Structure 1
């Protein structure tokens, strides 16, 4: 009897244990399947797994809408749900409670809480016993989740004088009220489309949307608040104008490549950075991109639960708004605009700095575009015209590298004087307009523009820009010495500058392959390519005793020069070259004499760089260069370059542009 009793007890325990294990596996599988659908935001699949009793309380449509409305309102990026293995699954009255940990990622921050998945047995299957608390433990049936967003303000970019280069400002939202506008007929529609640089079809499409009503304001185009077109648009044509906040670029085309612009975040941005919200903007280009982490605003969020009477019950998460920080840069808006106005008819670049401090005062690239169009909306026709412009509107020339031509000759001068291979007073006794080293050069000759007579010394070679003189000077320096010395000027390495610049180069591999290439390199041809900002920094060494000052963009209250390349050559050499560059401008025969300003002691150098397939090629083009600095008051150094200057006078076309900048700056001061 005792044996039978013990056997019965064992069988009962076995059934309980086996039954319990079997039940756990089924519950966990149903829970896991439900969690998987939940994480994937497949709300219809979730609904298919809920019990019949739950379905009688909420329809599939309302179930799906409840999740979608709450999660989209919160801008839910990702959700992680895991069964809490530190707690037991509880079973009672044929029901199960599975503890879970929920982790939500939103622009407001990370929301973490514990919850339970309730299950009940239905037709031998475990189904989800769902109610609103499955979303948030404190959410009841008639409760709602509210989201209040306080938009942060992106930081302003100021120039050195406190003028805005980029700011959150006002713009004009042009819209149509269909009931009034349609009275004016198709002609008015075509007229408005032309005025706003959009197509008539674009207007028709917006007016034909299913939600449109006759008394609604239908947004059509955003334009600057000071746009002259507003005077016509507001003359009773059924057009309405409203103020909106937009990112604004006051200098427009004059600083587009400098400031860049912002854009709305994309779906990819939202995936890569969970702190972004759908309405955020991000720096796409220029200073806006370089300093985006400083300028960027973080919106404030208050996500909370209200009851059926809209009374606040509880807070889910709250995050205070964080406005972006303002930045102040060294740019001078007046100089930026002056240089742009001089160059805007051409493809070119103009850069300037205070050579004594390293403060960059302007960075101009032309042709340009209006960055406001990227923020406020650009028509397809305008985008196409900019994109197809053969002058390459979107190419940033102050960021690139170009052939320097004769503007490079002072660098060759400094190297040869440093190595002692050149006596500046000694004449090389050059005559004629062409020269070659010997017959091994075949038909290749170095040419110059003018046979100015004797002496052919350093002063006259710079004043008359003598290619032959500097070709011979480079040959005297030697290939290895030239390569090593050019590297001392930073050529071939990345320049430490906030705005990424292409590396200047001696050649593709920073080697000089032949005597002819060495000779051509001496006067800035061969395969020499220089970045304009780098060239400007090299020129600042002539007023800084042979030290190259590091250019910079972030404004300092007490600017102090930071040396990038120290003692590249001596102060005596710098003084010699600077004195000769003064004569390039002051001497009536000097190639830079067109920049002469009475009472201003300018030192300068021209450069006309040839771009052609061979020495015999007559179809090539030319770049015109000019660099100048005020010697007596060296607070402004300007370098300008124009492409396609061959039929415009080469460097002589650029000289007056730089002169005008110095004159205007001098007048303003």
Structure 2
């Protein structure tokens, strides 16, 4: 009996002990979970909140708000307000510096801090305060109010970003005429509420007149923002299309308003030179975003608009302001002033540019005009061409397709490329021969008839020329009568290595130092003259000789500059002190001899149709054969003509070089002569 009682007591004691241990263990677990959990302090919580702004984590920001704040502002409204403000001002790199922490009783803390932030309008900095309170779990949460974004921001206030528009710089010719500048176009659109009941017929008529698809018009009219009284813009057209405007105004609902645009007053005459602007694309924006470009930026796409983008671009300014419920400005938070683009004045003479374009508008051609004494580039023309205004106003898909499909390649800029020069290369060979003393003016190569080969190793291949002119086969006569055989012999006498060296000295295989990128000239695909036949053909500008027209103009300038090649330039400057690209490429004597011989080309030779009684002119014709082989009778011809003033007292010296494609059966280079002559007659 005693043992049974003792046993029962032991059991009870054991149970009690186990219960105590269990309670103790549970207590330890509870303490471990709650008692040891460190409460995030308000300053750290504020840093976390601000870091979420930088990362665009607006939902996570909302979780840091107190219950009281969440009862006042919904998650949707909170996210919308913060997102619109911070992303609207392009806020980034937001940092804070805690300046003071005050305890306001047992459950509230006030944190004072300074804020720094980058925006599209510049830096913003301000001092602010944030209140924190403990919730039921003893955790701090933020008491949110609009002033947390900006101290002066009341619940009904709004943050607004105003764009302060800048003007893109104009481009002027040497006489101050606007080549690219500000202008007005007509914006054509529809007002839905004023359209007739025959809406489909009206839209079809507008589609026909404006050359835009019906689907495009319907899509614009059905946009979410459109109401009955909304003006829905469809297309911009030049102001001078009065007949088109009158036809459009017969359609009910049509509205025409003026709109500021960038204009190219000379249109097609200057388009390959000026290029054009358009909206920036995604790829460009990715590269340029750090240079104050945005999705609405306009950027130069080609020509001068692209080359001088950094100088003429308009950098819009911005101001970030707080306005009250009535729209009145309360405070300016940040402001970046607009920066207008620079106005550029060119060496281009719009009158010469226009005359050259008018003369060759129906041809596939390029023309370069320079002042050979100063290097000022007076004209750069490529035909056929396009109209830069079409790109700015908005080109239809059909028109774009026509431009791209045109076999005459109006989008191809011919004055930038290197081309086979034909006989216009002969004066260069003559000057090199004289400079290296391989050729003397009195040397007589003797007549070889109309065809010639060095020896039997050339097989059936022979160099041919068009005219015999007696037994005085010297440099002057060879230039006057454009003798291929003379210059083939001259090239062989100079030799491949020396000729390659001399051509390199005058800028072949080298980039022309000029604002617009030009293709370099070249004399061989391999950098050497691989065969005697190649060397001989190179002497009269065939084989693999390719030369850029502007480069040719610089070389020809040496004939009036005592052997120095002028450096061409495009940006006008008051001082016209000549700067040479290459000095003493020819001896002074060689330059003078070739110049005088080229005068005779105009006075008595192949260029005599260009003679003008009141002017002393020098020049050279050239016809380059473009064919697959010597026996190819289907090949085409390039017609060249160079013409320049030589009188030291000429008030406005000028050198023009023109190339026209497909002159075969049109008189060869003689097709070009009269057209170039017109430029000199109209000066």
Note whether the superposition's TM-score is higher than 0.5.
yes
Distance in structure 1 (CA, Å) of the matches to 2:680 and 2:204 = 47
Cα distance, 1:342 vs structure 2? 1.6
Q: Is residue 106–residue 275 contact of structure 1 (8 Å, CA) maintained in 2? A: no
Q: CA deviation at 1:379?
A: 0.5
CA–CA distance in structure 2, aligned partners of residues 25 and 401 of structure 1 = 72
1:169 maps onto 2:183 in alignment: yes
Tell me, yes or no, if structure 1 residue 199 matches structure 2 residue 217.
Answer: no
Among 290, 294, 313, the alignment partner of 2:311 is 294
1:228: how far off? 4.1
Corresponding residue SS for 2:544: coil
**Distance (whole Å) between structure 1 residues aligned to residue 326 and residue 232 of structure 2:** 33
Is 1:642 paired with 2:660? yes
Q: Which residue of 2 aligns with 1:3?
A: none
Alignment partner of 1:81 is 2:100: no
Report the TM-score when normalising by structure 1. Answer: 0.89
* 1:185-264 to 2 correspondences below 5 Å: 186-233=200-247, 235-238=249-252, 239-264=254-279
Query: Is 1:109 the equivalent of 2:122?
Result: yes
Q: Which runs of 5+ in 2 are unaligned?
A: 1-30
Tell which deviates more after alignment, 550-559 or 592-601: 592-601
The match for 2:638 is 623
Q: What SS does structure 1 have at the residue aligned with 2:39? A: helix
Answer yes or no: is the 8 Å Cα contact 1:107–1:274 preserved in 2. Answer: no
Asked whether the 8 Å contact 1:346–1:366 carries over to 2, the reply is: yes
Q: Pick from 38, 44, 48: which aligns with 1:22?
A: 38
Match of 1:483 in 2: 500
Pair 63,229 (structure 1): closer, same or farther in 2 beyond 3 Å:
farther
Deviations 1:354-375 (A, max 9, x none): 1111110111112211111111
How far apart, in 2, do the equivalents of 1:345 and 1:48 lie?
A: 72
Distance 1:20 1:622 in 2: 93
Matches of 1:420 and 1:537, distance apart in 2: 23
Deviates more, 1:143-152 or 1:209-218: 209-218
Structure 2 partner of 1:135: 149
**Residue 469 (structure 2) aligned to one of 435, 452, 460:** 452
Distance 2:123 2:501 in 1: 55
Aligned equivalent of 1:353, options 370, 379, 386: 370
Query: Where does residue 599 of structure 1 map in the other structure?
Result: 614
Contact 1:27 1:119 in 2 (8 A): no
Kindly indicate whether residue 385 of structure 2 is the aligned counterpart of residue 368 of structure 1.
yes
**Structure 1 gap segments, 5+ residues each:** 1-14
Residue 646 of structure 1: SS of its match in structure 2? coil
Equivalent position SS for 1:659: helix
Specify the structure having the higher radius of gyration (Cα). 2
Q: Which residue of 2 aligns with 1:401?
A: 418
What's the CA shift string for 1:165-220, capped at 9, x where partnerless?
11121111111233444456655543432332322332232223343333332211
Cα gap change, 1:34/1:229 in structure 2, threshold over 3 Å: closer, same or farther? farther
CA drift at 1:625: 1.0
Give 3-state SS (helix, strand or coil) of 2:416's partner.
coil
Residue in 2 aligned with 1:9?
A: none
- 1:430 correspondence with 2:447: yes
Corresponding position of 2:160: 146
Cα separation, 1, equivalents of 2:241 and 2:109: 67
1:273 partner SS: helix
Between the two proteins, the alignment pairs up a number of residues equal to 644
Q: Is the 8 A contact 1:82 1:100 kept in 2?
A: no
- The alpha-carbon deviation at position 413 of structure 1 amounts to 0.4
Aligned match of 1:69: 84
Residue 314 (structure 1) shift: 2.6
Give me the CA root mean square deviation. 2.8
Q: Distance in 1 between matches of 2:109 and 2:189?
A: 57
> Alpha-carbon deviations, 1:557-597, whole Å to 9, x = none?
2322111111111222222111111222221xx22223223
CA deviation map 1:70-92 (0-9, x unaligned): 34543x1x5123464x7687776
CA gap of 1:372–1:462, structure 2 versus 1, over 3 A, is same
How many Å separate the matches in 1 of 2:107 and 2:531? 92
Tell me if 1:526 matches 2:523. Answer: no
